[in-house]
Amino acid sequence: MVSALQNILRFIFLILIQVFLLDNIQFMGYINPMIYILFILLLPVRFPRWALLISAFAMGLIIDVFSNTAGMHTFALVFAAFLRAPVINIFTSIDEGSNPTPSFHTFGVSPFIKYVITIVLLHHITLFLIESFSFLNLSLIIPKILISSAITILLILAIQSFKSK
Amino acid sequence: MIRYSVVFLFIALEIISLILISNNKGYQRSVMLSSGNAMVGRMYEMTNSFVEFFKLSEANDNLANENTQLRNRVVELENKLSTLTDTLNSVSWKNVSVSPEKEYSYITAKVIRNTTHLSQNYITLNKGSNEGITPDMGVVGEEGVVGIVKSVSPKFSVVIPILNPKILISSKFKKNDYSGPLVWNGKDARFASLNDIARHVRFSLGDTLITSGLTKTFPEGIMIGTINDYNIKESDAYYNIQVKLAVNFRTLTHVKIINYKNYREQSVLEQTAADEGKKK
């Protein structure tokens, strides 16, 4: 029950931070970190997959409404949410019966970092490819994906390392 | 079975997203899912009043400058007018009228949402159809062309700025009237590229680019930018021109929307002519 409330608050909080703070900060001209993906990353491991997809869809839609990108964030976030379970299975070995919340502590430092990097990259690559459909320019997109992902990953890991103490 | 239903749900959600994206490609789109939406608009207005505080002094300087320029212009025109009325007799003076393509007025609005770092940028304004704004109206800042109104709700409107490859601005050289479409290349908020300028056209760095007046959106002669760089390959027929935009989109706070009075009349006439052409 406490965890459900925590997740709802995190959902709202991350959207507010993303839309009103991060979307207004433009590192080096065109890079903006996408912290909202942290919501998907931190849901309990055994959170029902259908509910995970629906919440990813809801979150993506809200972000899209605020940033005038109808559907792009939704597509990327649902995609990342769908691949979350396989990614967790690749990097960790969690007992059938247990239902931990992903963190440095429950996953171990190295698996957790790998997990965050993989999901963030999947999300950013999908998002920037979709965004660039109208004019494909790889020399522009690849640095954009790499730098944005790096900043998002660093932010997420920094937030998580503060929490575990 | 449960495994598969998750896959189906995933596919269904992704298809919905794709439909949303593809609907967004058109010129018009639902105001519901954009920052023209009333609730979203109001929230941006709130945060913007906060951010605007920091831009006030700059906006003030710009307004003061524009004010002086306008005063000078008024004095100049008044002087001309008085000399003219002296020479002309009062009867013929009353018959003087403005040519129809110049009958327009301005509506001022405040920018409450603006991006410059995406590959497709949009601007949200705090005025909408209640104030008489309709889609396809031109939007200008103090320095020059900003963009075109895309969709409106009663209280807000969304503008596609030059910084969005979805629009072309019909532009021409001030000095020799050669025209071409201006389009953004998606990289830098300070520059755009000018296309379709043929090899034989003579121009040089620093030349001024203004609106062509060939569309109903902008009257002729509004500043767009200056030529910053150009090159042409041996095999090409057209120049590759980089234009430095007059407007600084990073600090945009107030804009004016151009309300062209004869828009309807002109479009109806053009439409009828085009339809008749198709029938024959």
- Domains, chain A: 2-164 (1.10.1760)
CB atoms within 10 A of CB B69: 11
Whether A134 sits inside 8 A of B166 (CB atoms) is: yes
pLDDT at A38: 92
Please give the CATH topology (third level) of the domain spanning B169-248: Thrombin, subunit H (2.40.10)
Residues of A in contact with B10 (CB under 8 A): 53, 78, 82
User: Which is more confident, B81 or A35?
Assistant: A35
Assess B16–A contact: CB distance below 8 Å, yes or no. Answer: yes
Residues of B in contact with A60 (CB under 8 A): 17
Assess B168–A contact: CB distance below 8 Å, yes or no. Answer: no
Assess A32–B contact: CB distance below 8 Å, yes or no. Answer: yes
Could you report the predicted ipTM of this complex, rounded to two decimals?
0.84
Assess A147–B contact: CB distance below 8 Å, yes or no. Answer: no
What residue type is assigned to position A156 of the chain? I
Residue B239 in tokens: 């120049």
Q: Looking at the predicted structure, is the pLDDT value of residue A161 above 60?
A: yes
Summarize pLDDT for A96-131 with one digit per residue, the tens: 778 888 888 888 889 999 999 999 999 999 888 887
Average pLDDT over residues B199-228: 88
* pLDDT band with cut points at 50, 70 and 90 for residue B245: very high
Range in B34-48, B166-180, B253-267 with the lowest mean pLDDT: B34-48
A66 CA to chain B: closest CA distance, Å? 6
* pLDDT band with cut points at 50, 70 and 90 for residue B26: very low
Residues of A in contact with B17 (CB under 8 A): 57, 60, 71-72, 74-75, 78
Residues of B in contact with A140 (CB under 8 A): 186-187
pLDDT at B27: 41
Contacts for B174 with CB less than 8 Å, ≥ 6 apart: B207, B208, B209, B210, B221
Q: Which of B133, B144, B143, B134 is nearest to B109 (CA)?
A: B133
User: How far, rounded to the nearest angstrom, does the alpha carbon of residue B169 sit from its chain's CA centroid?
Assistant: 8
